[in-house]
């Protein structure tokens, strides 16, 4: 409520805010049944066909971001519901990714713990200059990562299913095969859109190619990676560590190994969670509701 001026809607509608996540479709339906307008955070609360068919009052959905794969768009159209999206700020995700990469390199998790528990320095950090970063995907976010890496004196290699040498060169990267990327890179960072063709595109065989000194980073989507294989490889110390912001199940279950393994830095899907992004999300949301009400 602090991220936009909701007073524009004061005389037009009553606003209810839910601060907790619920996974049960029945609970989602029960919560949202009374509302004509529903505003959702992209992919946090799936609006499936079953949910939509049971929200008989629903007339408008406003979703943050330019797309939301968790909304059944065909059913939305079938039911005559209006669907609007907000704009997006693109710097949040690559900035967090780079922060996680540097935290891995300098063992910040362990050193933070040392200070909290009365200890002192116990680790030796990794230099970035001269190291190689392997980018799985070289779109808008992957290209920003390439720029950051070059600024730190790193070598940049990249692969994705449809990446060309020309596009890689424009981004300041060298196109390599998938196998070469995993075997050469000191840091592997994933930046792909999730689809049927990219689900588990990073598998156990890929992860086993990584050097024992290498780090794995995923701030894109959890299902892009075989998480069971990654957890096993981390437990067996076959790579130096991982930084993760996304998971196949969110929120991540309390007892999940990614919450427990010492050489994993895990954050709660906060890549896009910045002040500027939220101002855009909720400012656009208010305007979308206002415009829809004026035209209804």
Please tell me which residue in 42, 85, 191, 269 is annotated as part of the active site.
269
**Residue 185 in contact with residue 191, Cβ under 8 Å?**
no
Please state the three-class secondary structure of 257-281 as a single string. HHHHCCCEEECCCCCCCCHHHHHHH
Which residue among the candidates 42, 85, 191, 221 is catalytic per the annotation?
221
Question: Is 250 an active-site residue?
Answer: yes
Q: Which of 95, 180, 232, 250 is catalytic?
A: 250
**Per-residue H/E/C for 36-88:** CEEEECCCCCCECHHHHHHCCCCCEEEECCCCCCCECHHHHHHCCCEEEECCC
DSSP 85-154: E----SSHHHHHHHHHHHHHHTTHHHHHHHHHTT----------TT-EEEEE--SHHHHHHHHHHHHTT-
12 given a catalytic annotation: no
Cis preceding linkage at 59, omega within 30: no
Q: Which residues are catalytic?
A: 221, 250, 269
């Amino acid at each position: 409520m602090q991220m936009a001026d909701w007073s524009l809607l004061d005389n037009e509608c009553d606003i209810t805010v839910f601060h907790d996540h619920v996974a049960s479709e029945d609970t989602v339906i029960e919560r949202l049944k009374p509302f004509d307008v529903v505003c959702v955070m992209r992919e946090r609360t799936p609006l499936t066909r079953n949910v939509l068919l049971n929200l008989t009052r629903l007339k408008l959905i406003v979703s943050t971001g330019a797309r939301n794969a968790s909304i059944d768009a065909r059913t939305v159209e079938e039911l005559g519901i209006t669907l609007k999206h907000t704009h997006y700020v693109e710097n949040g995700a690559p900035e967090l990714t780079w922060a996680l990469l540097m935290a891995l390199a300098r063992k910040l998790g362990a050193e933070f713990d040392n200070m909290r528990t009365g200890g002192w320095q116990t680790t030796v950090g990794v230099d970035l200059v001269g190291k190689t970063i392997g980018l799985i995907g070289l779109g808008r976010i992957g290209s920003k990562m390439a720029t950051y890496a070059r600024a730190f004196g790193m070598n940049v290699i990249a692969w994705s299913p449809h990446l060309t040498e020309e596009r890689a060169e424009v981004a300041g990267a060298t196109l390599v095969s998938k196998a070469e990327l995993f075997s050469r890179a000191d840091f592997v960072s994933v930046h792909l859109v999730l689809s049927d063709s990219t689900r588990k595109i990073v598998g156990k065989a890929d992860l086993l190619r990584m050097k024992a000194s290498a780090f794995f980073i995923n701030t894109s989507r959890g299902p892009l990676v075989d998480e069971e294989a990654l957890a096993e490889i981390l437990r067996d110390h076959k790579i130096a560590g991982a930084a993760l912001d996304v998971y196949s199940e969110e929120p991540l279950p309390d007892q999940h190994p990614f919450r427990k393994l010492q050489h994993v830095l895990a954050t709660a899907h906060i890549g896009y969670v910045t002040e500027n992004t939220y101002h855009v999300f909720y400012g656009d949301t208010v305007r979308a509701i206002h415009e829809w009400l004026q035209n209804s």
